Chain A
């Protein structure tokens, strides 16, 4: 039985893990923050659709 610390260091993090994390951050940005920077006109629809979630998670909103 290895200790938690030993099994932890055994986790090899592949390079694509960083791409996956960046994807996660981009999705978070689109849902919570996008106000026209990345999607232009489409962002208004996105903003209105996720509107209540943005307010509820405390993100600055209009």
Chain B
């Protein structure tokens, strides 16, 4: 008997594992362009000012080493929190690939969440490294970003609703219709939201910018698809049965 509590605990575990994996991608991949971007920022500061990343020109609140560790810790915390919400949404879902195995459902759900809350905002408002971004517009940019995230989640929800409505159709027709609807809705969101307000400063090298953006996307994919995969592994009875067979065979 599956209980909500058992699903929630597995969500926490999946989020922790995916969060650690994503934090490692950050340490090994994303920190490289972040360091390059911070060097650009430092080159701007007048000589004599203390090196490091700070806002508003005041003294540094947190050193660079702590920022690297804190950033990784933040990714793990977000992973656990998202894993919990993911498990709850999974437990509530009544029509999400109901005919599939728990692993396939979880994997597809993770991929859909990645598309809605990571890939879609990444396409509309690409991630920017330090040294890009006007502090004056941060609230406006945050509102736009969250708006796209909500729009993405609405698209995912609407796609599952549409698939349910088209149950009478054959599977290929149904899949094609849902894909077309998702593509059209995505295009509307990308066109309807205003262009990113940031101008990329001239001293930011294009390769640093894109290395950072692609690293960020890799890290987001690790986090969200990772949660779907690990959660699927943890909840699918097939995993435990295969393990039980191995144990029996070895006795």
Q: Are A56 and B102 in contact (CB under 8 A)?
A: no
Chain B residues, Cβ within 8 Å of A9:
94
Q: A11-B7, A55-B127, A60-B125 are in contact. Are A49 and B70 (CB under 8 A)?
A: yes
Q: A28-B78, A45-B62, A48-B62 are in contact. Are A17 and B88 (CB under 8 A)?
A: yes
Stretch with Cβ within 8 A of A (4 or more), from B176-184, B186-194, B215-223, B243-251:
B215-223
Q: Are B72 and A53 in contact (CB under 8 A)?
A: yes
Q: A17-B91, A24-B85 are in contact. Are A56 and B219 (CB under 8 A)?
A: yes
Measured CB to CB, the nearest residue on chain B to A45 is B61
Chain A residues, Cβ within 8 Å of B26:
52-53, 56
Q: Are B4 and A12 in contact (CB under 8 A)?
A: yes
Partner of A52, one of B31, B118, B217: B31
Q: Are A60 and B219 in contact (CB under 8 A)?
A: no
Q: Is A40 an interface residue (CB 8 A)?
A: no
Q: Are B145 and A60 in contact (CB under 8 A)?
A: yes
Q: Are B220 and A57 in contact (CB under 8 A)?
A: yes
Q: A8-B98, A49-B66 are in contact. Are A56 and B77 (CB under 8 A)?
A: no
A-facing residues in B119-155 (Cβ within 8 Å): 121-122, 125-130, 133, 135, 138-139, 141-142, 144-146
Partner of B98, one of A5, A21, A44, A47: A5
Q: Are A57 and B88 in contact (CB under 8 A)?
A: no
Please give the distance in Å from B200's CB to the nearest CB on chain A.
14
Q: A24-B85, A44-B61 are in contact. Are A56 and B71 (CB under 8 A)?
A: yes
Partner of B141, one of A13, A27, A53, A60: A60
B-facing residues in A1-41 (Cβ within 8 Å): 4-5, 7-14, 17-18, 20-21, 23-25, 27-28, 31-33, 35
Residues of A in contact (CB 8 Å), total 41
Chain B residues, Cβ within 8 Å of A13:
4, 88, 91-92
Q: Are A58 and B121 in contact (CB under 8 A)?
A: yes
Measured CB to CB, the nearest residue on chain B to A7 is B2
Q: A4-B101, A35-B138, A50-B70 are in contact. Are A62 and B55 (CB under 8 A)?
A: yes
Partner of A58, one of B54, B60, B216: B216
Chain A residues, Cβ within 8 Å of B94:
8-9
Q: With A and B bound together, what is the CA distance between A16 and B174 in angstroms?
A: 36
Pick 28 A–B contacts, CB within 8 A, sort by A. Answer: A4-B98, A4-B99, A5-B99, A8-B2, A13-B92, A21-B89, A24-B85, A24-B88, A27-B78, A32-B74, A32-B78, A44-B61, A47-B55, A48-B60, A50-B70, A50-B73, A52-B68, A52-B72, A53-B73, A53-B74, A56-B26, A56-B75, A57-B220, A58-B126, A59-B142, A59-B145, A61-B130, A62-B138
